[in-house]
Amino acid sequence: MPCTTYPSSCDCFVSLPPASLTPIVIFGKNSDRPYEEVQEVVYFPRATNAPGSKVTCTFLEVEQTPETLAVILSRPAWMWGAEMGANEMGVCIGNEAVWTKEPVAEGEALLGMDYVRLALERAASAQDAVQVITDLLSRYGQGGSCREQPEPFVYQNTFLLCDRIEAYILETAGPYWAAERIREGARNISNQLSVGEPWKEHPELRSHAVAQGWWDGKGAFSFSAVYSLENQPVRMEAAKKRYRAGQELLRRIEGKVTIESMLEILRDKPSGICMDSGGFRTTSSMVSVLPRCPHTPCVHLLTSTPDPSRSVFKPFVFNLMVSQVAWTLSPSFGDSDPVRQIPRFQTRVDRRHELYLLHQKALEASQGSQEAGHRLQTQQRELETENLHLTQKLLERHHNNDALNLSDIFQKCVEQEMILYKGEKV
């Protein structure tokens, strides 16, 4: 039977003009996962695929498309899919766990994280990504264990999707779904249904609700009101508090949202948005900057390490010469991987990549000394300030980034962070 524990996990944010200070769309997400789970940052280039070919996702095989877009992903190292990511067209997606009146699926299907990657690989816009996910959902459903343990842990999914122009909230309840379109302002999601009157919806969304006795078919229809659990578990109630706290943090900076203020939101501990409780913590974070000007590159900042308040955000930019950074890539175990063995997850393997190992070692070495902890955090912030200055240069060079070697920006930033943790001079 699926686990009925409801962890508080994940928060996604998006700011569009006029909420953003400048004409940019800003995406942010904290991925809150089991405490010891490792997230890797992986890059996959654009690819052409053979006609009739299939792709093996985490648990399920699906039909492949003729071409897939280049993507940068932050993902639990045992999964095929991703918690969050972006593609070369400037589309960003993050997903979150949710539980609704619809029961979770018992068998294995596509994970919400699989849908994130599939949509990023196939969609040239956020609106296209909504279509990709809903089409696949109707064919393959959603389900399967979402953690690397023998006891299944299953949930449904909500998604925040955005591009340079607009954003969408896509929320699901089993096979049913509802979408909200966002053309301006700021929005957040936090492990609960939040879509009211849908912009688009599953064709049987309302009739199913009537048949189940959840809605009388009269008056205004609110997806969140109709499909949310009536008696929320304690941790789902905690998610409501995080959602309201996220709304308030966005409200305070309305019209002034910047990269830096989005980083501060993701680092906010009093609200629980930067979390460490109940065996879960923020295991990786991402902020993306999507300029309205099509000639300006999108910049994606990722940590690849736990706790954004003790991590460094590093910029990544798509270009034809980009390659995978080995230091953020976890070891591969092939067919002997516990996720590939049946029954699954009967053993554990060490998935820590080199940056993760050095980061954790540096944090452990600074524990017990307030001075050492403060010194390490100061050095991290100084390094990140340099990364943000580089990001600003990228955003200001509307037509000529040739002077900057875009192919290894992320690699160089990771390298500098590793030098810091090794105790060498940066």
Active-site annotation holder among 3, 10, 92, 298: 10
* Contact between 184 and 169 (Cβ < 8 Å): no
Residue at 78: amino acid letter: W
Judge whether 10 counts as a catalytic residue.
Answer: yes
For the chain, the straight-line distance linking the first and the last C-alpha, in angstroms and rounded, comes to: 51
Instruction: Identify the DSSP state of 110.
Output: B
On the question of a cis peptide bond just before residue 34, with omega within 30 degrees of 0, the verdict is no
Distance of alpha carbon 221 from alpha carbon 210, whole angstroms: 11
Kindly list the catalytic residues.
10
